[in-house]
Amino acid sequence: MSIAHRHAPRDSGPPRFWRSRYAVGFLVLGAVALFYLVAEHKAHLLGALPYLLLLAGPLMHVFMHGGHGGHGGRHGRESGDGKRAPNVASPDKGDRP
């Protein structure tokens, strides 16, 4: 293997923005702006905190229930006579124990 192959640049495309000196200036400017924004509006932010905590409950319910198929299933729920229904995988879904 020649030396040219060993030291060849990996990416010959245009330079990435986040690795440039402009990105560092952008991040510093953003940090200063965020500091002054929080410092000047701290009373407004802290006043809205109780409402944000109350709003977190319904938002978590809406956005976090998508993964388990909703509330319509009967697996693991009580049957009409008060006994728990068995958790049996249905054979049509291809679930094997």
pTM (global) more than 0.95: no
For residue 95, pLDDT beyond 70: no
Tokens 């409950």, located at residue:
57
Report the pLDDT value the prediction gives residue 53, as an integer from 0 to 100: 92
- Going from the C-alpha of 87 to that of each of 76, 91, 92, the distances in angstroms are 5, 12, 15
Report the pLDDT value the prediction gives residue 17, as an integer from 0 to 100: 83
Question: What average pLDDT does the chain have?
Answer: 74
Give the residues across from 84 on adjacent strands.
78
Domain ranges (residues) in the chain: 38-63
Confidence category of residue 51, pLDDT binned at 50, 70, 90:
very high
Confidence category of residue 18, pLDDT binned at 50, 70, 90:
confident
